[in-house]
Amino acid sequence: MSLLVDTSVIVSALRPDDPDFVACCAILERADRCIFVHALNETFATLTGGSLGVRVAPDAAARLICERTAGCRVVTLDAEDVLEAQAQARARGVRGGAIYDYLHLVAARKAGAVALCTLNTSDFLAFHRSGDPEIRRP
């Protein structure tokens, strides 16, 4: 049973003061977890951009991400996958920046994940359809 974790889970697992820290760490320590490669960049941007009220130095952020995601299977999407997702966007109700969340769901499907773990379930439920991996909070 593979689980794909999104950026929110990785970020929470890097912040001991976060209320979801323990649950997110537990998810990232499972043997069957995977991540969409884009989550690595989103996590880096979040840590180094200051949106958390603190800016982590880029080299420290890279090290933390590498340590926390060690052993995760990384899922990639090729151009065909992305273009197909864009073609489905209207039918799924995906507009603007929601495409980035939708691509996490596409990656979860590609990985054969049974669930996509996120702290932002409502963002994903808006375009979730029958047959998609379950949207689950850690």
Run of H or E residues at 108: helix 98-111
Name the percent of the chain lying above pLDDT 90: 93
**Predicted confidence (pLDDT) at residue 119 exceeds the cutoff of 80:** yes
Across residues 113-127, what is the average pLDDT? 95
Structural domain for 90, as ranges:
3-136
**Domain at 67, CATH number:** 3.40.50.1010
User: Dihedral, CA atoms, 11, 36, 45, 50, nearest 10 degrees?
Assistant: -20
Could you tell me the maximum CA-CA distance found in the chain, to the nearest angstrom? 41
Alpha-carbon separation of residue 6 from 87, 90, 91 (angstroms): 22, 22, 23
Cα separation, 65 vs 62, in Å, equals: 5
**Predicted confidence (pLDDT) at residue 84 exceeds the cutoff of 90:** yes
Query: Which band of pLDDT confidence, cut at 50, 70 and 90, is reported for residue 52?
Result: confident
Q: Domains in the chain: how many in total?
A: 1
Does the predicted TM-score (pTM) go above 0.75? yes
